[in-house]
Amino acid sequence: MNMKIGIAADHGGFELKEKISELLKSSGYNLVDYGAYSLQDQDDYPDFVVPLAKAVASGQMERGIAICGSGVGASIVANKIPGIRAALITDSFSAHQGVEDDNMNIICFGGRISGPALVWELIQSFLSAKFSGAERHQRRLYKILELEK
Protein backbone atom coordinates (compact mmCIF):
# COMPACT_ATOMS: atom_id res chain seq x y z
CA MET A 1 0.00 0.00 0.00
CA ASN A 2 3.04 2.28 -0.30
CA MET A 3 1.96 3.36 -3.77
CA LYS A 4 2.83 7.01 -4.51
CA ILE A 5 -0.33 8.83 -5.54
CA GLY A 6 -0.62 12.46 -6.61
CA ILE A 7 -3.84 14.46 -6.48
CA ALA A 8 -4.79 17.87 -7.87
CA ALA A 9 -7.96 19.94 -8.19
CA ASP A 10 -9.15 23.43 -9.03
CA HIS A 11 -12.03 25.17 -7.21
CA GLY A 12 -14.57 22.94 -8.98
CA GLY A 13 -12.96 19.86 -7.46
CA PHE A 14 -11.51 21.26 -4.26
CA GLU A 15 -14.10 19.89 -1.85
CA LEU A 16 -13.97 16.42 -3.41
CA LYS A 17 -10.15 16.47 -3.32
CA GLU A 18 -10.19 17.20 0.40
CA LYS A 19 -12.56 14.31 1.14
CA ILE A 20 -10.72 11.83 -1.08
CA SER A 21 -7.31 12.88 0.28
CA GLU A 22 -8.43 12.02 3.81
CA LEU A 23 -9.64 8.60 2.68
CA LEU A 24 -6.41 7.88 0.77
CA LYS A 25 -4.21 8.90 3.70
CA SER A 26 -6.21 6.91 6.23
CA SER A 27 -5.97 3.89 3.89
CA GLY A 28 -2.16 4.14 3.97
CA TYR A 29 -1.42 5.60 0.54
CA ASN A 30 1.64 7.80 0.13
CA LEU A 31 -0.22 10.90 -1.10
CA VAL A 32 1.21 14.11 -2.56
CA ASP A 33 -1.18 17.04 -2.97
CA TYR A 34 -0.41 19.28 -5.98
CA GLY A 35 -3.01 21.86 -4.95
CA ALA A 36 -5.11 23.84 -4.86
CA TYR A 37 -4.36 24.26 -1.15
CA SER A 38 -7.33 26.53 -0.50
CA LEU A 39 -10.64 27.24 -2.20
CA GLN A 40 -10.12 30.13 -4.66
CA ASP A 41 -13.04 30.43 -7.04
CA GLN A 42 -10.99 32.04 -9.81
CA ASP A 43 -8.14 29.49 -9.93
CA ASP A 44 -7.27 27.57 -13.11
CA TYR A 45 -7.08 23.77 -13.33
CA PRO A 46 -3.92 23.67 -15.54
CA ASP A 47 -1.95 25.27 -12.68
CA PHE A 48 -2.50 22.16 -10.55
CA VAL A 49 -3.05 19.37 -13.07
CA VAL A 50 0.09 20.06 -15.14
CA PRO A 51 2.52 19.67 -12.20
CA LEU A 52 0.69 16.48 -11.21
CA ALA A 53 0.81 15.14 -14.76
CA LYS A 54 4.55 15.92 -15.06
CA ALA A 55 5.20 14.06 -11.80
CA VAL A 56 3.31 11.01 -13.07
CA ALA A 57 4.99 11.15 -16.49
CA SER A 58 8.45 11.30 -14.88
CA GLY A 59 7.70 8.35 -12.59
CA GLN A 60 7.88 10.47 -9.45
CA MET A 61 4.24 9.49 -8.84
CA GLU A 62 2.88 6.08 -9.81
CA ARG A 63 -0.69 7.24 -10.45
CA GLY A 64 -2.62 10.50 -10.40
CA ILE A 65 -6.09 11.78 -9.59
CA ALA A 66 -7.15 15.05 -11.24
CA ILE A 67 -10.40 16.83 -10.44
CA CYS A 68 -12.11 19.91 -11.83
CA GLY A 69 -15.78 20.88 -11.99
CA SER A 70 -16.71 18.53 -14.82
CA GLY A 71 -13.49 16.50 -15.12
CA VAL A 72 -13.26 17.54 -18.78
CA GLY A 73 -10.66 20.31 -18.49
CA ALA A 74 -8.52 18.19 -16.15
CA SER A 75 -8.44 15.28 -18.61
CA ILE A 76 -7.77 17.51 -21.62
CA VAL A 77 -4.78 19.24 -20.03
CA ALA A 78 -3.35 16.09 -18.43
CA ASN A 79 -3.26 14.39 -21.84
CA LYS A 80 -1.10 17.22 -23.24
CA ILE A 81 1.81 15.92 -21.17
CA PRO A 82 3.75 13.19 -23.03
CA GLY A 83 3.45 9.87 -21.23
CA ILE A 84 0.08 10.67 -19.69
CA ARG A 85 -2.95 8.52 -20.37
CA ALA A 86 -5.78 10.27 -18.56
CA ALA A 87 -9.52 9.76 -18.73
CA LEU A 88 -12.67 11.12 -17.14
CA ILE A 89 -14.28 8.16 -15.39
CA THR A 90 -17.82 7.77 -14.06
CA ASP A 91 -18.31 3.97 -14.05
CA SER A 92 -16.58 1.07 -12.32
CA PHE A 93 -15.84 -0.97 -15.46
CA SER A 94 -13.81 1.83 -17.05
CA ALA A 95 -12.03 2.57 -13.75
CA HIS A 96 -10.20 -0.78 -13.92
CA GLN A 97 -10.39 -1.63 -17.62
CA GLY A 98 -8.80 1.72 -18.45
CA VAL A 99 -5.71 0.52 -16.56
CA GLU A 100 -5.80 -3.13 -17.66
CA ASP A 101 -6.10 -2.38 -21.38
CA ASP A 102 -4.98 1.23 -21.84
CA ASN A 103 -2.51 1.67 -18.98
CA MET A 104 -4.40 4.77 -17.77
CA ASN A 105 -2.17 6.56 -15.27
CA ILE A 106 -4.37 9.54 -14.33
CA ILE A 107 -8.04 9.23 -13.44
CA CYS A 108 -10.16 12.37 -13.71
CA PHE A 109 -13.39 13.30 -11.98
CA GLY A 110 -15.92 16.09 -11.99
CA GLY A 111 -16.40 17.48 -8.51
CA ARG A 112 -19.76 18.87 -9.62
CA ILE A 113 -20.78 15.56 -11.20
CA SER A 114 -19.69 12.56 -9.12
CA GLY A 115 -20.16 12.26 -5.36
CA PRO A 116 -17.47 11.20 -2.88
CA ALA A 117 -18.81 7.68 -2.21
CA LEU A 118 -18.85 6.76 -5.90
CA VAL A 119 -15.49 8.44 -6.54
CA TRP A 120 -13.90 6.54 -3.65
CA GLU A 121 -15.08 3.21 -5.12
CA LEU A 122 -13.81 4.20 -8.57
CA ILE A 123 -10.43 5.20 -7.13
CA GLN A 124 -10.04 1.90 -5.31
CA SER A 125 -10.82 0.08 -8.52
CA PHE A 126 -8.33 2.26 -10.46
CA LEU A 127 -5.55 1.81 -7.90
CA SER A 128 -6.00 -1.96 -7.62
CA ALA A 129 -5.90 -2.51 -11.38
CA LYS A 130 -2.74 -3.39 -13.30
CA PHE A 131 -1.90 -3.12 -17.00
CA SER A 132 -2.32 -6.58 -18.55
CA GLY A 133 0.69 -6.17 -20.84
CA ALA A 134 -1.14 -8.17 -23.53
CA GLU A 135 0.47 -7.84 -26.96
CA ARG A 136 -2.60 -6.24 -28.57
CA HIS A 137 -2.75 -3.56 -25.89
CA GLN A 138 0.98 -2.88 -26.09
CA ARG A 139 0.64 -2.57 -29.85
CA ARG A 140 -2.11 0.03 -29.45
CA LEU A 141 -0.17 1.96 -26.84
CA TYR A 142 2.87 1.97 -29.11
CA LYS A 143 0.74 3.64 -31.80
CA ILE A 144 -0.20 6.33 -29.28
CA LEU A 145 3.44 6.72 -28.23
CA GLU A 146 4.36 7.38 -31.87
CA LEU A 147 2.05 10.42 -31.83
CA GLU A 148 4.05 11.92 -28.97
CA LYS A 149 7.26 12.00 -31.02
Which residues of the chain form contacts with ligand RB5 (CB under 6 A)? 10, 12, 45, 68-70, 72-73
Q: Is 33 helix (H, G, I), strand (E, B) or coil?
A: strand
Q: Alpha-carbon distance 39 to 14, whole Å?
A: 6
Q: Alpha-carbon distance 38 to 25, whole Å?
A: 18
Shortest spacing between CB 88 and ligand RB5, in angstroms: 9
Closer residue to ligand RB5 in complex, CB, 29/48? 48
Closer residue to ligand RB5 in complex, CB, 72/141? 72
**Nearest C-alpha neighbor of 9 from the set 89, 95, 91, 69:** 69
Shortest spacing between CB 85 and ligand RB5, in angstroms: 18
Contact 84, 53 (CB under 8 A): yes
Contact 14, 36 (CB under 8 A): yes
Looking at 5, 9, 56, 68, which residue is catalytic? 68
Q: Alpha-carbon distance 138 to 149, whole Å?
A: 17
Instruction: Decide: residue 58, CB within 10 A, 0-12 exposed, 13-18 middle, 19+ buried.
Output: exposed
Task: Reply yes or no on whether 68 is catalytic.
Answer: yes
Shortest spacing between CB 55 and ligand RB5, in angstroms: 20
Shortest spacing between CB 140 and ligand RB5, in angstroms: 27
| Residues involved in catalysis | 68
